[in-house]
Amino acid sequence: MDMPPRSTSPPHFSDAALMTLIRSTPLAICITDAEGRFQMVNAAYCKLYGYAEEELLGEEFTLVLASEHRDMMRRMHRAFIETGEDSDPLIGTPGSRAEWEVVNRQGKTISILAEAVRVEDDQGNVYKATFVVDISEHKTLERSLREANQRLTQIAMYDELTGLQSRHAGLDRLEAEIHEHQRYGQPLCIAVIDLDGFKQINDTHGHAIGDEILVGVAELLRQSLRESDAAVRLGGDELLLVLPGVTLDQATQAVERIRQALASTPLTSHSLEVTLSAGVAAYRDESQDTLLERADRALYRAKRRGRNRLAQAQ
């Protein structure tokens, strides 16, 4: 059986048929006149905004916008009617497609993607036809992903319990300060700190109290250090201070003030007295690992000498 020849010409619909197609499409569509008043809204548009058709027809399109955006959108509408572009000097580059936040009848904010075309009828009257897609779920997901990424960054950069820099971030900061020293020659010191008897505190009072102590010590460090310094939780009760721009004696004096402040500040609801021991080292053209090892050895010398004291690295 012979097949009929395939048609290559576009279909020819009457104006009424095209209007039926526009009204029945699931894509939200509205047509506004040069003054910005609704001349046609389809069922999908009414459903999106929560209005009946008769409530919108003849009303200004800014009805579905937050009041603070209405003047700007009126300017953009006038520019579009004249040029076919939503140009406005206050919002940047012109265009006919953009994301917006609008408000439905219940006052709920909706995120939309809108694209418009400029059309003329047989009498030369100019209209703006706008096609609208609800992207609220997409924007919600986008915000959730952004917040999750920020949370992951926070976890990577900062210790969750104390808010001090994490080990990874802190060692990166130390490496950056070493590069600064090598480039500009400014002095650089570090201090490695242990809380004395912390294991016994955990064993006696429980890990919740131990966590309270770590939080209290972290707060004392934030109050005691300069903005240019960094306090790092290496793990457990082991802490690192990065002290750029100070000599070994100046760094020792700064850590000694912290030691004295901690010894005189009872912590937790049990008013526990907590002390620290620390090893202080000045950078001297060595690797990061060697610098940390020297500070560690000084720390353990301080502990062997009776704890609650400092020692300078050799």
pLDDT value at residue 66: 86
Q: Are residues 176 and 307 in the same domain?
A: yes
Last residue of a domain, one of 106, 140, 174: 140
Query: Which pLDDT band holds residue 6 (cuts at 50, 70, 90)?
Result: low
**126, 240: one domain:** no
Same domain, 56 and 188: no
Clarify whether residues 226 and 116 are in a common domain. no
Which residues have CB under 8 Å from 123's CB, separation 6+? none
Q: Residue 153 falls within a domain, yes or no?
A: no
Q: Residue 273 sits in which domain range?
A: 162-312
The reported pLDDT for the residue numbered 244 is 97
pLDDT (tens digit per residue) in 52-68: 999 999 999 999 988 88
- Counting other chains too, the contacts that 61-67 makes at CB distance below 8 Å and 24 or more residues apart are 61/30, 61/32, 61/36, 61/37, 62/36, 64/102, 64/103, 64/104, 65/102, 65/103, 66/101, 66/102, 66/103, 66/109
In a domain, 92, yes or no: yes
Of 182, 189, 261, nearest to 220 (Cα)? 261
- Rounded CA-CA distance 271/13 in Å is 86
Question: Which CATH number does the domain housing residue 223 bear?
Answer: 3.30.70.270
Structurally, how many domains does the chain consist of? 2
Q: How many CB atoms lie within 10 A of CB 26?
A: 8
> Do 134 and 172 lie in a common domain?
no
Is 282 in the same domain as 201?
Answer: yes
What's the pTM value of the predicted model, to 2 decimals?
A: 0.61
119 in any annotated domain:
yes
**Average pLDDT over every residue of 252-265:** 97
Give the count of beta carbons closer than 10 Å to the beta carbon of residue 103: 17
- 196 in the same domain as 128: no
Lookup: tokens for 128: 């703006």
Q: Are residues 209 and 126 in the same domain?
A: no
Tell me, yes or no, whether 155 lies in a domain.
Answer: no
Q: Exactly one of 86, 159, 194, 237 is catalytic; which is it? A: 237
Residues 107 and 248 in one domain: no
Per-residue pLDDT band for 93 (boundaries 50, 70, 90) equals very low
DSSP state of 60: B
Domain finish residue from 91, 109, 140:
140
Catalytic residue check, 237: yes
311 Cβ contact partners less than 8 Å away, ≥ 6 residues apart? 278, 279, 280, 298, 299, 301, 302, 305
Tell me the residue length of the chain: 314
Task: Check whether 19 has a pLDDT greater than 70.
Answer: yes
208 lies in some domain: yes
Residue at token pair 């929560």: 50
CATH label of the domain that carries residue 54: 3.30.450.20
Same domain for 129 and 65: yes
Which sign does the torsion angle of CA 64, 70, 72, 76 carry? positive
Residues 257 and 180 reside in one and the same domain: yes
Distance between CA atoms of residues 305 and 164, nearest Å: 28
- Together in a domain, 28 and 81: yes
Residue 179 lies in a domain: yes
φ and ψ at residue 268, rounded to 5 degrees: 70, 170
In a domain, 200, yes or no: yes
